[in-house]
Structure 1
Amino acid sequence: MNNLLISDTLDEKLGDFFKSCSELAILHFGDNLTSLIDDRVNSITVSVVLESADSDYNLVIIYCHGDESSFLGLNNEVILTIESPELIKLANSIIYSFSCSSGSILGPKLVNLGCRAFIGYNGEANILTSLKDEFAACVHTGVEQLLAGSSAEIAYKSVIHQYKKLMMQVDFFARSIINDNIDKLVLIGDPSSEINE
């Protein structure tokens, strides 16, 4: 199983959150995960790793900033955009992303290029740093479901379910942020896709 993690753990604002999410992924994958973290989240390294992959990725997990047409790495450097030729290397994969707005244009572009499913956000995704581990657990639930052999749709719905469970434990302000994340979470592509196909 060929899987890829791209996580901007050095980000000034969300680095600790991305690190929490990444640690959960690394714990579950063990040796079945190529990890691009810390200072390896730059356009050159991402390009080289994607170009040198000897087989398709089953699952690509992306924890970094983003916008409608790009994933952003260390110091907000564009690491992948809708114009990147390396996007074709993500065909046949399921992409699971916590990157703001990447589900607006980039997600559909990836699906049009052959990505089986894209789970991400079509607007700004937020967390509360005081609840970073709880938010990371919600986000990671989708990865756990995919690893267990569940479909993209079940993974997507499990994240929403975890967000709703967290809403029951927090104040009104935190609930509004969680509800906003739920509203912006999208599943694009084939909902029945599984990583073990």
Structure 2
Amino acid sequence: MPVILAMPDFDLATRSASGFLLRWIAPRVEPAHLFAGLARRKPFQLLAPQSDIIIGTGHGDVDVFTGQNEVVILEVGQYDPREIEGKIIKLLSCQTAEYLGPDLVKNGCVAFLGYTDDYVWVVDADLASRPWADDMAATSLMPVVDGLNALLDGKTAREAFEIELQGYLRNAEVEEDELIKAVLEFNRDNAILLGDEGAKVRARPTLALPFKLVPPPPLFPQRT
């Protein structure tokens, strides 16, 4: 089964989050990537029923998850349950755990991981073309990546969730910047797991070390 990986990249926030997924998650999974202009409702509708896990980053609200240019991908009451039945869903998106997450679980999603409030992190705008090289953003986003990789290793939703939470805690304990530390604690407090905590998906192959040493190309040409 393919992994649905929605990665819009139309502004600094989506480019940053999608860059980390592109660098650390996309190489592990089957090519069903809704990157940039493909992060829209119609491609999602076509591909989602074939998947066992949906991973998405993008702007959100209490009842909606959006893709490229904030076009709606999932909205309470506006999707076919076949798109989400039997799947683990992780949305790196503001507030989607408030109403959308419970609605997805009610309609057949086996486990939902998301956030009840805004997801916040500090970004280095000078690294917008190479977001995976942003150490400030990594402080918040790598715990998410570690949790996702745990899911792709075949661990349960609860195990993956705890790995993300521990990542925030570990980074906050050594962080000297008070703003970044506050952001880590905020994201940890607002992370939530709904549904079957024992749910898991088929384990995917791990990345070979030589590949990890070669980053993707820039998302767009650097200006001179």
Name the TM-score, length of structure 2 as normaliser: 0.79
Aligned partners of 1:45 and 1:37: how far apart in 2? 11
Q: SS where residue 199 of structure 2 aligns? A: coil
Q: Is the 8 A contact 1:71 1:99 kept in 2?
A: yes
Measure how far apart 1:87 and its partner are: 4.2
Q: Which residue of 1 aligns with 2:98?
A: 104
Which of 30, 52, 55 is residue 58 of structure 1 equivalent to? 52
Q: SS where residue 132 of structure 1 aligns? A: helix
CA RMSD of aligned residues (A): 1.7
Q: Which residue of 2 aligns with 1:77?
A: 71
Structure 1 81/87 Cα, relative in aligned 2: closer, same or farther at 3 Å? farther
Structure 1 115/160 Cα, relative in aligned 2: closer, same or farther at 3 Å? same
Name the TM-score, length of structure 1 as normaliser: 0.89
Any unmatched runs of 5+ in structure 2? 125-135, 204-224
Larger Rg: 2
Aligned partners of 1:196 and 1:4: how far apart in 2? 14
Q: Which residue of 2 aligns with 1:132?
A: 137
Q: Which runs of 4+ in 1 moved over 3 A?
A: none
Q: Is the 8 A contact 2:81 2:108 kept in 1?
A: no
Q: SS where residue 92 of structure 1 aligns? A: coil
Q: Is the 8 A contact 1:17 1:129 kept in 2?
A: no
Q: Which residue of 2 aligns with 1:189?
A: 195
Q: Which residue of 1 aligns with 2:150?
A: 145
Q: How many pairs does the alignment contain?
A: 191
Q: Is the 8 A contact 2:8 2:68 kept in 1?
A: yes
2:164 is aligned with 1:159: yes
Measure how far apart 1:167 and its partner are: 0.9
Measure how far apart 1:166 and its partner are: 1.3
Q: Which residue of 2 aligns with 1:121?
A: 115
2:93 is aligned with 1:88: no
Aligned partners of 2:31 and 2:194: how far apart in 1? 23
Percent of pairs with identical residues: 23
Q: SS where residue 127 of structure 1 aligns? A: coil
Q: Which residue of 2 aligns with 1:14?
A: 14
Any unmatched runs of 5+ in structure 1? none
Instruction: Specify the code of the residue in structure 2 equivalent to 1:64.
Output: G
Deviates more, 1:81-90 or 1:57-66: 81-90
Q: SS where residue 168 of structure 1 aligns? A: helix
Q: Which residue of 2 aligns with 1:46?
A: 44
